[in-house]
Amino acid sequence: METDVVVVGGGVTGAAVLRDLALRGVNAVLVERFDLGTGTSGRWHGLLHSGARYAVRDQESARECIEENTTLRRIAPHTIEDIGGLFVLLPGDDEAYAGQFVEGCRASGIATEELSAAAAHRREPLLAPDVRLAFAVPDGGIDSWALLRSMRADAEARGCQVLVRHPMVGVERTGDRITAVRVHDAVAGQDRTIGCQWVVNAAGAWAGEVGRMAGVPLTMIAGKGVMVVMASRYVRGVVNACRKPADGDIIVPQHEVAILGTTSEQVPSADDISVPPADVDRMIDMCAQMVPAIASGRVLRAFAGSRPLYQPEAPAGDGQAESGDTREVSRTFTVLDHASRDGLDNMYSIVGGKLTTCRQMAEAVVDRLAERMGVTEPCRTATEVLPGAGHGPHRVAAPLAKVERDQAYGELICECELVTRGQVRDAVADGLTELEDLRRAVRLGYGPCQAAFCAWRAAGLLAEAQPPEGSGEPPSGAPDPLAGLERFLEERWRGQQATIWGDQARQALLNHAIYRGIFDLQGAGAPDEAAAANQTPTEPGSGDPTRRVGDELIGDSEGRTSSRPGGG
Amino acid sequence: MRADVIVVGAGPAGLASATRLAEAGRQVLLLARGNGFTHWGAGAVDVLGRVGGEPVERPLAAIDRLPDGHPYRLTGEAAVREGLDWFSRFAGAAGLAHAGDPDRNRRQVTAFGTLRQTCLLPEPAAGEGLGGRVAVVSFAGFRDFSPALCALGLRRAGIDATPASAPVPAWDHDRYFTAVELARAIDDADFRRRLAPGLARAVAGADVAVVPAVLGLRRGHEPWADLQSLVGTPLVEAATAPPSIPGVRLFAAYRARLDTLGVRWQFGFPAIGVERDGDRVTAVRSEGASRVVVTRCQELVLATGGVAGNGIEANRDGTLTEKVAGLPVGLASSEPGRSEGRMAFVGARFLGDHPLGAAGVQVDAELRPVDASGEPVLANVRFVGGLLAGHDPTVEGSREGVALATAARVASLLAATPVR
């Protein structure tokens, strides 16, 4: 296989780079070790930043955010819930900070509107009664998987290619140039070589590993953030605490749930996405200060993501890396030209940044690359709308309205997320090979029942897509619905272990009674005793023997340890 | 209000206990929050499917291998056998005859094409030893059974299975429907006559047909038998996800029997606490329509289930609480009332074992709750079914057997107690 540019990493940054290249007429291939959006792009709270969170301390990031917030609303409205946000001042919060906040927003170009306590409560009835004051800002919600799908579709329509489940395993170098990127086709089980002229490292928190394979030093800081998923939205818009960013200071309503965020902790590896139960408790207790109903609410699951923070090369022991709290590291982004930096002639890395600025990050790196390539087409990603944009902003009640209005719209496979049989069939027809991917494609299994009913219905649809006759073994390359179902269930479980109490404990045991009790799934033959013996409280699932099952296919799992470095 | 015996819980253990106590001459009040594992189970009578993860072929003979403190070790084999015998008579009289033998486990085909270990099976599910050519059939518009998935599983078990779909005749309903709606339609003889030809075409050439367990809701096994004769091919009901239609049938049979026996029944009014005088419970507090109702009683039988059944609350701080009498509960690995943190609740694999599934109340041989030294702490309260410590009903496949054995034990204990 030959291409002009290999983009490494299937998060929003890599996909934005691929689309930018495609719009300039450049031939490119994106490689991703799992599915699109299984790294940081799929493990975050879903906030379309207004920039207000950075307005006091990091105004460069704040300005980037408000600019891209406006751009994304124009090019990808269908991925956005236009719900706005509040920064609320609680008793004990510093009024001086509120003054700095308003001034910082003004200086960064972010519109704010001060609301009295009464006005704030009219807008958000579940806010704590003792909220003193609030500021409205143009925050929003954004669905990163929808954004990824649109960017991918646009890039593919323009001749570029996406290879998922193709982790990068190395490069071929001739002197100062990379001549090819070697990848492993995890489905076919064989290595492939992609000859190329240029490489863009967009592996985010994993960019250091790509750098190492290419032979250039690149130090990323893995800044882990823990988030908690509540079973309902609680708030109409985003709610932030008006104070210096700290643990548990944001509530983002997203589709049918609310996400509480977040912690900020430096960890040795971006693959450390374990969820300590104490962090879950802290998120709930802190966010309940803003919205008290959260304290007694139903918690669905908890997860962690790894911020892709860039550490400019500095003397050992210098900088904030020692502090443990990674909030002090700037959230702006950096383009690294490895030719001038490291003497590697044809590779760029794009590091740092955040989802809201992914398009701008792509523009910055592709501008530099295009100049070197002699491509004169200007960047058009800020003006060309994405496929699907015609649907307008996403409204959370829209799918329900469709289902209620028109029974032909579809038979529900997942009542929690209103996923229809047709949506699943379409995904299967599009070449879906892994039940787990339906989660990102159509949100299967996200709701309160945590896949008690939808997963086996979807497995049935996968089975129906297979030839009916035969030994029972799926044809080569076809999904195995029963094995895929077990992988799906185990993935869902890894995010639940720190949140099993109350109603969700009942739900978990009911699900266990369904899958193991009624359907008699006994697991992949791995002894339970070994799993129990290996279990450690703060790292759910680590050492789990089933972790090996499908490791190369799913990847989206709490507490995983990478067995194969590469791409994001 | 006043009652002689209050039974709390309308799952397999509470229903059997209330029925048997009423048959033994006690005046019974049944209080229940809602449905239990009749509706959420597989629709069979599991007695003991696995010990230590290994499949069991002879359930009663395997009781000796269970650890001390297991409910079967407390009741003894005789109570298990007597409980199953009673159930077979009861179910048969209600038009829900079960096949099987307490001394030998059988296999129940599931919607996944797995063959789960169980003991007694309702006749429509009892097609043991599926052989020859098997058609796996669902009904067009019924989303909760995939013939392709079931056939795939059966083929992996070495069975010659082929998926098929049968049309559903026009009926007064939406394009898509639930198991309950379809089962209710099949209660109607005229609907069955219109359904049968399409089903017969779908199973043509097969020696036996596996169908989802939806063949009738309120008329016992008669709709199944009638449809089978109309189609001319043996029909075997496969276990489906909740709600279990065989379980709904059984629940209805219990309800009819309890009505006949004059048992008072308060459904949707959960018990929330007790009043005590020393080591005796004197009354149960329950949620009424607009207030808390206090009902005095001589004896109390708690059949509220484990964590899954809502009899035990798993708390965020890692502790566990029995919800009616307020007794401390421990995991098998910890003392009652002590917490090792909530991560000790669950195992690393979803399909593995979870300590929470075996959480329960420690009792003595008379099913009274005991303290750490083994002394009863409440003299007139008996615990039955999934609420009992020492067993995980899902993992070991013992839910209905434990319910029936402990109901048998309670019936014999309390029938002997004179009414005061």
Strands B160-166 and B115-118 turn out to be: unpaired
Confidence of residue A325 (pLDDT cuts 50, 70, 90): low
Is residue A545 predicted with pLDDT exceeding 50?
no
Confidence of residue A432 (pLDDT cuts 50, 70, 90): confident
The partner residue sitting opposite B149, judged by closest CB among A459, A511, A513, is: A459
| Separation in Å, CA of A436 to nearest CA in chain B | 15
Could you tell me if B287 and B395 lie in one domain?
yes
Could you tell me if B177 and B79 lie in one domain?
no
Are the Cβ atoms of A277 and B240 closer than 8 angstroms? Answer: no
- Give the pLDDT of residue A330: 73
Domain boundary among B176, B209, B233: B233
What residues are paired with B322 via a beta bridge? Answer: B312
Cα–Cα distance measured from residue B314 to residue A153, given in angstroms and rounded to the nearest whole number: 46
- At the topology level, CATH places domain A81-139+222-308 in D-Amino Acid Oxidase; Chain A, domain 2 (3.30.9)
Q: How far is CA B18 from CA A287, A447, B22, B264, B351, in A?
A: 46, 37, 6, 10, 34
- Give the pLDDT of residue A475: 52
In chain A, which residues have their Cβ closer than 8 Å to the Cβ of B155? 470-472
Is residue A395 predicted with pLDDT exceeding 90?
no
Could you tell me if B271 and B194 lie in one domain?
no
| Separation in Å, CA of B102 to nearest CA in chain A | 20
Are the Cβ atoms of A501 and B315 closer than 8 angstroms? Answer: yes
- The ipTM assigned to this model is 0.97
Q: Which residues contact B373 (CB under 8 A, 6 or more apart)?
A: none
| Separation in Å, CA of A513 to nearest CA in chain B | 6
Cα–Cα distance measured from residue A18 to residue A376, given in angstroms and rounded to the nearest whole number: 17
b/e per residue, B298-333, with b = 16+ CB within 10 A? bbbbbbbbbbbbbbbbbebebbbebbbbebbbbbee
B354 close contact with A: CB closer than 8 A: yes
In chain B, which residues have their Cβ closer than 8 Å to the Cβ of A453? 241
Is residue A17 predicted with pLDDT exceeding 90?
yes
Could you tell me if B380 and B272 lie in one domain?
yes
b/e per residue, A209-245, with b = 16+ CB within 10 A? bbbebbebebebbbbbbbbbbbbebbbebbbbbbbeb
| Separation in Å, CA of B41 to nearest CA in chain A | 7
Determine which of A411, A512, A538 to mutate to test the interface with B (most B C-beta atoms within 10 Å). A512
Confidence of residue A561 (pLDDT cuts 50, 70, 90): very low
Could you tell me if B280 and B386 lie in one domain?
yes
Half-sphere exposure of A153 (CA within 13 A, CB side): 14
- In chain B, count H helices and then E strands: 11, 21
Confidence of residue A473 (pLDDT cuts 50, 70, 90): low
* A47: phi then psi, degrees, rounded to nearest 5: -85, 120
Could you tell me if B33 and B92 lie in one domain?
yes
- Give the pLDDT of residue A248: 95
Domain boundary among B190, B210, B233: B233
Cβ–Cβ under 8 Å, residues A4 and A142: no
Q: State how far Cα A479 lies from the chain centre.
A: 24
Tell me which residue of A390, A359, A380 sits closest to A144, measured CA to CA.
Answer: A359
Q: State how far Cα A414 lies from the chain centre.
A: 22
Sign of the Cα pseudo-torsion (A475, A478, A482, A484, in order): positive
Residue B101 Ramachandran class (φ > 0 left, ψ -120 to 50 alpha, else beta): beta
- Give the pLDDT of residue A541: 33
- Give the pLDDT of residue A324: 58
To the nearest 10°, the Cα dihedral for A491, A494, A499, A503? Answer: 40
Which element (helix H / strand E) includes A204? none
Is residue A410 predicted with pLDDT exceeding 90?
no
Is residue A479 predicted with pLDDT exceeding 70?
no
Burial of B183 (0-12, 13-18, 19+ CB in 10 A): buried
Nearest chain B alpha carbon to A505: B314
* B226: phi then psi, degrees, rounded to nearest 5: -65, -45
Tell me which residue of A170, A152, A22 sits closest to A79, measured CA to CA.
Answer: A152
* DSSP 8-state symbol, A567: -
Q: Examine residue B410 and state whether it is found in any structural domain, yes or no.
A: yes
Task: Read off the tokens for A517.
Answer: 């009790």
pLDDT digits (tens, 9 = 90+) for A344-393: 999 999 999 999 999 999 999 999 999 999 999 999 999 999 999 988 88
Of all residues in chain A, the percent with pLDDT exceeding 90 is: 71
| Separation in Å, CA of B155 to nearest CA in chain A | 5
Confidence of residue A403 (pLDDT cuts 50, 70, 90): confident
Q: Which residues contact B404 (CB under 8 A, 6 or more apart)?
A: B12, B13, B16, B45, B80, B83, B84, B86, B87
Determine the residue type at A457: R
Is residue A543 predicted with pLDDT exceeding 50?
no
B390 close contact with A: CB closer than 8 A: no
Ranges in chain B, pLDDT < 50: 419-420
Is residue A321 predicted with pLDDT exceeding 50?
no
- Give the pLDDT of residue A323: 44
pLDDT digits (tens, 9 = 90+) for A79-125: 999 999 999 999 999 999 999 999 999 999 999 999 999 999 999 99
Is residue A551 predicted with pLDDT exceeding 80?
no
- The CATH number covering residue B286 comes to 3.50.50.60
Other Cβ atoms less than 10 A from the Cβ of B36: the count is 29
Nearest chain A alpha carbon to B115: A520
Structural domain including B305 reads 5-97+265-415
Cβ–Cβ under 8 Å, residues A207 and A250: no
| Separation in Å, CA of A418 to nearest CA in chain B | 14
| Residue A305 DSSP SS3 | strand
Strands A5-8 and A28-31 turn out to be: parallel
Q: Examine residue B213 and state whether it is found in any structural domain, yes or no.
A: yes
Nearest chain A alpha carbon to B150: A460
Mean pLDDT, rounded, for A422-431: 84
Could you tell me if B62 and B165 lie in one domain?
no
Alpha helices (runs of H) in A215-296, residue ranges in sequence order: 277-290
**Please, what is the angle between helix A454-464 and helix A481-494, to 10°?**
150
Determine the residue type at B204: A
Scan for tokens 């003894």, then name that residue: B76
Half-sphere exposure of A183 (CA within 13 A, CB side): 31
In chain A, which residues have their Cβ closer than 8 Å to the Cβ of B176? 407, 411-412
Which residues 177-236 of B are in CB contact (within 8 Å) with A?
none
Q: How far is CA A512 from CA A249, A296, A309, A531, B10, in A?
A: 34, 24, 39, 16, 21
All structural domains of chain A with their residue ranges? 81-139+222-308, 397-548
In chain B, which residues have their Cβ closer than 8 Å to the Cβ of A519? 110-112, 114, 116, 239, 241
Domain boundary among B182, B215, B233: B233
B163 close contact with A: CB closer than 8 A: yes
| Separation in Å, CA of A494 to nearest CA in chain B | 8
- Give the pLDDT of residue A480: 82
Is residue A482 predicted with pLDDT exceeding 80?
yes
Alpha helices (runs of H) in A452-498, residue ranges in sequence order: 454-464, 481-494
Are the Cβ atoms of A492 and B350 closer than 8 angstroms? Answer: yes
Half-sphere exposure of A254 (CA within 13 A, CB side): 27
Determine which of B240, B343, B400 to mutate to test the interface with A (most A C-beta atoms within 10 Å). B343
Which of the two residues, A224 and B127, has the higher pLDDT score? Answer: A224
- Give the pLDDT of residue A431: 77
The partner residue sitting opposite B114, judged by closest CB among A490, A509, A520, is: A520
Mean pLDDT, rounded, for A220-239: 95
Cα–Cα distance measured from residue A388 to residue A386, given in angstroms and rounded to the nearest whole number: 6
Could you tell me if B210 and B274 lie in one domain?
no
What residues are paired with A190 via a beta bridge? Answer: A185
Nearest chain A alpha carbon to B36: A510
Which of the two residues, A413 and B207, has the higher pLDDT score? Answer: B207
The partner residue sitting opposite A489, judged by closest CB among B341, B351, B395, is: B351
Q: Examine residue B154 and state whether it is found in any structural domain, yes or no.
A: yes
Among the listed ranges A24-38, A160-174, A228-242, B324-338, which one has the minimum average pLDDT value? B324-338
Confidence of residue A314 (pLDDT cuts 50, 70, 90): low
- Give the pLDDT of residue A422: 85
Is residue A549 predicted with pLDDT exceeding 70?
no
Of all residues in chain A, the percent with pLDDT exceeding 70 is: 86
Domains: count for chain B = 2
Between chain A and chain B, the number of residue pairs with CB atoms below 8 A apart is 200
In chain B, which residues have their Cβ closer than 8 Å to the Cβ of A487? none
